[in-house]
Amino acid sequence: MFEPLPVPAEMAEWDQSAIHEIGIRGELLMENAGREALNVLRQACGPLSNKRVLVLAGPGNNGGDAFVVARHLHDLGANVLLLHSRAQSAYKGHAGYHLRLAKRIGTPIRRLTPSLFRRYHQKGSISLPNGISFSGSPEILIDGLLGTGFEGSLRADMLEIVQLANQMTTNAVVLALDIPSGLNGATGMPQPIAIRADLTATFGAVKLGLALPEAAEYTGLVAPCDIGIPNQCLQSAPPRHFRIAPEIFDIAPKANPNAHKGQNGSLLVVGGSRGLTGAPHLAALGALRAGCGLVTVAAPAALCRDIKLNHPEIMTLPLGQDCRWSSALAEELVTHLNNNPARYHALAVGPGLGRSDGARHFLSVIGRSLTLPTVYDADALFHLSNLHQTLPAQAVITPHPGEAARLLGCSTREIQADRITAARQLATLFHTVAVLKGAWSLVADPPGRIHLCDMAVPSLAVAGSGDVLTGLTGYLLAMGFSPLHAACLGVYWHASAGKHLDQLRHRGHLAGEIANALADARHQYNKEASC
């Protein structure tokens, strides 16, 4: 349910472990990479015989992967030209070995220089030593210029080659080997430009940079390729970043025909204030639609009728006599929890709580007494930035970028500029699991591991969407999930519900509809998984 997203240094460590500790020859790993990339190309383009294919090979092992692909393309009868960026004698080791193989079977080869590439772009032809020419724009371009080890900015010569390649391939299929050249394998950012690929055959595992939103316009379809690195290598050097895979639905609570409502989780939502009664209502609805057996909203007494809002399934716990929060209401709630220790299995604190002094005093008192698994969201996070409280051991915080900025004492722009670092800092600061919401939501745990939900869902960008996620996450905590699993499953389930709505219509969704779509999203996964 979690797929590794190594950064380039981690991937290099796995490569070296496979070669030096396991004893797999580097030439074999390179051969496997090239053949797997060729399979990706075949699946996309069909038969490759007579296709006009331009293969660009850079100076390192990424160029070696390109040599393998070029050799197989030539063997299949493609009209292929291999352009290498350094002198043939400079290729050593695994790359040199595969260059020699490509030459032995007669693969057409020429040295790649900016001037040669410029002339080809202008005239549409490259002359070969045997008197034959490679003429016409490529139907397929293979990018093997720079791999995941690339750092810094493109040199002037490589920058020009990348620019020309992008200009001449508007009507071609572009396959990047491991990563589009010019893209940073850790951040997904172009340096300053990158090859715009239609397909990226990435070797061993999807690199972190390829999974980030910044890379999407360059990678095209990302196809992970198994090149034979044993799992032992991954386990001996675990990565710090993971993708939340659809299989996380496999751990979702399953219907038990013999269960009663108390066994399906009991969640207490704490929130609501004048003008914000919809937030705890939506949190409760999110929990109920996911399958929670019992949901109660604790709120100032005068607000409880509005919070139920035509949903008799939502129970309320009226506190005090009016619509204001206070430390007295906190003491009343603590007494209720102490007198009923088994009634609730988890709490969701914050939806619509408000930012009044009374709400701050309420949270200050109750925060010292909470021991149940708790998800903190919305206005609870606003007050946490000032209270500096220790959270329960089984807690999850779910800030959006603005709330995260307040918690970390920086700007929203700084949060968005490096979301991974921000999520990690939140988890470290509060010693708990942190969900940094947004397109490609992130889940960080205290040891610093990052779990990425690689879905950007427009329908989730509506008021109340986060409240639904709060209720959903609270339900999963109530069902006994660890904070990490509750957060990861909650984020993925929530995004899947939004994606399900997007398939029905692109705009105009309401947060309540996201809650209503939770069951449909799970059913859709179960249906696809059973096929």
Whole-number pLDDT of residue 512: 97
Backbone CA torsion sign across 238, 244, 250, 251: positive
Q: Are 361 and 326 in contact (CB under 8 A)?
A: yes
440 annotated as a binding-site residue: yes
Q: Predicted confidence band at 258 (pLDDT cuts at 50, 70, 90)?
A: confident
DSSP annotation of 372: S
Is 400 in a helix, a strand, or coil? coil
- pLDDT cut 70: percent of the chain above it: 100
Q: How far is the C-alpha of 208 from the C-alpha of 241, rounded, in Å?
A: 7
Closest CA to 67 of 81, 77, 78: 81
Check whether 471 is labelled as a binding-site residue. Answer: no
Q: Is residue 466 a known part of a binding site? A: yes
The first and second tokens of residue 185, run together, are: 């394998």
310 belongs to an annotated ligand binding site: no
- The whole-number pLDDT of residue 4 equals 98
Long-range contacts of 128-132 (CB under 8 A, 24+ apart): 128/81, 132/108
pLDDT in tens, 363-391: 999 988 899 999 999 999 999 988 878 89
Rounded to whole angstroms, the Cα distance separating 139 from 127 reads: 18
Looking at residues 149-153, what average pLDDT do you find?
94
Q: Is 151 annotated as a binding residue?
A: yes
| CB neighbour list of residue 229: distance below 8 Å, 6 or more residues apart | 14, 15, 17, 18, 24, 29, 204
Condensed to tens digits (0 to 9), the pLDDT of residues 30-66 reads: 999 999 999 999 999 999 999 999 999 999 999 999 9
39 annotated to bind ligand:
no
**Residue of 264, 304, 292, 403 lying closest to 348 (CA atoms):** 292
pLDDT score for 504: 87
Helices 419-430, 401-408: axis angle to 10 degrees equals: 60
322 annotated ligand-binding residue: no
* pLDDT value of residue 467: 98
Q: How far is CA 358 from CA 256, 278, 392, in A?
A: 42, 20, 22
pLDDT 10s digits, 84-105: 999 999 999 999 999 999 999 9
178 is in an annotated binding site: yes
**pLDDT band for position 349 (cuts 50, 70, 90):** very high
Global pTM? Answer: 0.94
Q: Is 181 annotated as a binding residue?
A: yes
pLDDT over 90 percentage in the chain? 91
User: In this predicted structure, what is the pLDDT of residue 77?
Assistant: 98
Q: Would the annotation count 147 as a binding residue?
A: yes
HEC per residue, 138-188: CCEEEEECCCCCCCCCCCHHHHHHHHHHHHHCCCCEEEEECCCCCECCCCC
Out of 126-130, 291-295, 414-418, least confident range: 126-130
Which residues fall within 8 angstroms of residue 326, CB to CB, at 6 or more apart? 320, 358, 361, 362
Report whether 386 belongs to an annotated binding site: no
In angstroms, the CA 275 to CA 238 distance is 48
474 is in an annotated binding site: no
Does the annotation list 153 as a binding residue?
yes
Token pair 């929203």 in the structure block, residue: 412
Q: What are phi and psi of 267, to 5 degrees?
A: -115, 135
Pick the closest to residue 328 from 355, 307, 368, 300 (CA basis).
Answer: 300
* Helices 483-504 and 465-478, packing angle to 10 deg: 140
61 assigned binding-site residue: yes
Q: What sign for the dihedral angle of Cα 330, 336, 341, 346?
A: negative
**pLDDT for 198-233, tens place per residue?**
999 999 999 999 999 999 999 999 999 999 999 999
Confidence band of 279 (pLDDT split at 50, 70, 90): very high
> Which amino acid, residue 289?
R
Say which amino acid occupies 343: R
Query: What is the four-CA torsion angle of 209, 210, 215, 219, rounded to 10 degrees?
Result: 150
Quote the DSSP letter at residue 190: B
> Is residue 449 scored above 80 in pLDDT?
yes
Strands 173-177, 199-203: parallel, antiparallel or unpaired by DSSP? parallel
pLDDT at 271: 98
Q: Where are the alpha helices (DSSP H) in 237-322?
A: 278-290, 304-308
Query: Is 438 known to sit in a ligand binding site?
Result: yes
Round to whole Å and give the CA distance between 386 and 382. Answer: 8
DSSP code at position 389: P
Residue type, 416: Q
The verdict on whether residue 502 carries a ligand-binding annotation is no
What pLDDT does 336 receive? Answer: 98
Q: Is the pLDDT of residue 248 over 80?
A: yes
Task: Give the pLDDT confidence score for residue 421 in this predicted structure.
Answer: 98
Which tokens hold the place of 161? 């080659």
Domains of the chain from N-terminus onward: 2-243 (3.40.50.10260), 256-529 (3.40.1190.20)
Residue type, 141: L
Q: Does the annotation place 150 within a ligand binding site?
A: yes
Mean pLDDT of 506-530: 91
Q: Please, which pLDDT band fits residue 83 given cuts at 50, 70 and 90?
A: very high
Cβ contacts of residue 448 below 8 Å, gap of 6+?
A: 240, 424, 427, 428
20 DSSP assignment = I
Contact at 8 Å (CB) between 66 and 144?
A: yes
Burial tier of 256 (Cβ tally within 10 Å: 0-12, 13-18, 19+): exposed
Q: 405 a known binding residue?
A: no
The answer to whether the CB of 494 falls within 8 A of the CB of 468 is yes
Q: Dihedral angle at the C-alpha atoms of 423, 427, 433, 437, nearest 10 degrees?
A: -20
354 assigned ligand-binding residue: no
Tell me 250's DSSP state: G
Q: What is the mean pLDDT of the chain?
A: 96
The residues with which 347 forms a beta bridge, in sequence order, are: 268, 374
